[in-house]
Structure 1
Amino acid sequence: MAFADHPTLHPTNWIRDLKAQVPRKLVRDAWNKALYGAEAPLSDEAIYIDPLAVRETCRTMPGGPRLRRRQSGMVVAGDWDLSRTTFGGNVKVVSCRMRYLDGVDWEQTPLFDSLMGKIAAGERPDECASRDDILNRYESLDRVFEETRRRGRLLSKAELPDFFRREHGGILIHIDRNGAPLRAASGGIHRLAIAQILELPEIPVQIGAVHRDAVKKGLYAPLRRSRIGTGA
């Protein structure tokens, strides 16, 4: 077994394993299989969705579970999937559409103003501490947009230099009780916006939480399989 093929096992990634809670996720995977069988969700795995099917973002309900990357692959019952907000109204989505559909400079978008305001207040939004940091970050996003448009698809994490574990670090998507995708509160919003703007037919995403009803109804397992054969 080559460490290059399994970076999660490489000694240099052990700290990263702990931060990503990989040991806990392995226990979760075993528990899911014991409860739901061979096709139960696996933490950090890739599923394949139509990006245009993502119309809403899942919000944390008061007293409800906080669902982030650490909860990837968790099967959750209850009404957590009913607390939602419109995805298209997010300032990052609006600003991406302004940039890539209308040709507006990043400095003229509401996102840029928002980030500059946070920096002025002493915050470091998206690891940015200055105007130049913001411009550099969004120049990188422009390259992602152009490469994705040219390629006609969004690369999976396994195809990228920073590959770590399954689809960890990809666009984070929860699955509701009816098997429909919900954007997580954080994780890959720019890439999802790009996929929607380019009207890509399918994208690989990192699984977030999965409603128990979707698993029991057999609505989750089909999402593992790419419909167009471009997944890793």
Structure 2
Amino acid sequence: MSITEKRRFQQIRRNWNSKLRALRIDGKNRKRYGEHAPKFAELLWIPTAALTHSVKAGSSKDSARIVQDWPDQFILPVRELPAIKACLAHWKIGLSWEATGIFQQMLDIIEEKGKVDRLRNLNDIEERYRSVDELYDKVASTGGLHPRSELIRGNFREEGGILVHIGPDGVPFFGKKGHHRLAVALALELEYIPAQLGVIHASAIDRLDAFREKK
């Protein structure tokens, strides 16, 4: 199983819940903003170089939620996020995963909370990062990341993809979901990444079309 996949039953349940959520959110947005309104779990194509900062503005379940306010705290450079920083040190500098410090960081969280991202021990962590290396090699050979609908049969739109919020004036922010996939894109200097729409600032609705297709 890929690091980005759920088990079959979990996938079916998520697809069903997402379709119900989309009916409600899409209808509400379309009624207020017209046919070009934001859609739940909508696929966006984000220029990788434009995704310089991250912000905690909502989860994937908040996809297509239109907001009037925007966080002015906890906006961090993407390349300074621990998982992404470790990935870039591993692939660009050549450090072992252990030497990047990411294993110990995750072990510390496991000791405190019992698990981190479904991982419970060192073996789980090592297996996860073998999968991350496999993802890197695969993307390097194919030349790009693919939308979720191409990777997982029946996946609803871009549900489960790299989460990207669209801030004031159409500026994209990483939503802190999909760290490893974003790190792959940064390391390989991909021009675009497929992303799931997160929340969107009201001032950016007219800018959304710019991200709906690759240029």
TM-score under structure 1 length normalisation: 0.83
- Unpaired runs of 5+ residues, structure 2, are 1-8
Equivalent of 1:190 in 170, 175, 180: 180
Percent of aligned positions that are identical: 28
Equivalent of 2:48 in 41, 48, 51: 51
The DSSP-based 3-state class of the residue aligned with 1:209 is strand
Provide the rounded CA distance (Å) in 2 between the counterparts of 1:36 and 1:94.
Answer: 39
Provide the rounded CA distance (Å) in 1 between the counterparts of 2:163 and 2:38.
Answer: 14
When residues 12 and 54 of structure 1 are mapped into structure 2, their CA distance, relative to the original with a 3 A threshold, is closer
Provide the rounded CA distance (Å) in 1 between the counterparts of 2:168 and 2:203.
Answer: 5
**Is the Cα contact below 8 Å between 2:18 and 2:156 reproduced in 1?**
no
Counterpart position of 2:6? none
When residues 154 and 15 of structure 1 are mapped into structure 2, their CA distance, relative to the original with a 3 A threshold, is closer
Provide the rounded CA distance (Å) in 1 between the counterparts of 2:181 and 2:43.
Answer: 15
When residues 122 and 76 of structure 1 are mapped into structure 2, their CA distance, relative to the original with a 3 A threshold, is closer
Counterpart position of 2:210? 222
**Is the Cα contact below 8 Å between 2:40 and 2:197 reproduced in 1?**
yes
TM-score under structure 2 length normalisation: 0.89
The DSSP-based 3-state class of the residue aligned with 2:207 is coil
When residues 21 and 144 of structure 1 are mapped into structure 2, their CA distance, relative to the original with a 3 A threshold, is same
When residues 162 and 128 of structure 1 are mapped into structure 2, their CA distance, relative to the original with a 3 A threshold, is farther
Per-residue Cα deviation, 1:190-220 (whole angstroms, up to 9, x for no partner): 11111011110111100000111111xx211
Over aligned residues, Cα RMSD in angstroms?
A: 2.0
Q: Cα offset for 1:104? A: 1.3
When residues 169 and 13 of structure 1 are mapped into structure 2, their CA distance, relative to the original with a 3 A threshold, is closer
Give the helix-richer structure, 1 or 2. 2
Provide the rounded CA distance (Å) in 1 between the counterparts of 2:153 and 2:127.
Answer: 19
Pair 1:90 & 2:81 matched: yes
Provide the rounded CA distance (Å) in 1 between the counterparts of 2:103 and 2:155.
Answer: 30
Letter in 1 for 2:185: A
Q: How many residues align?
A: 207
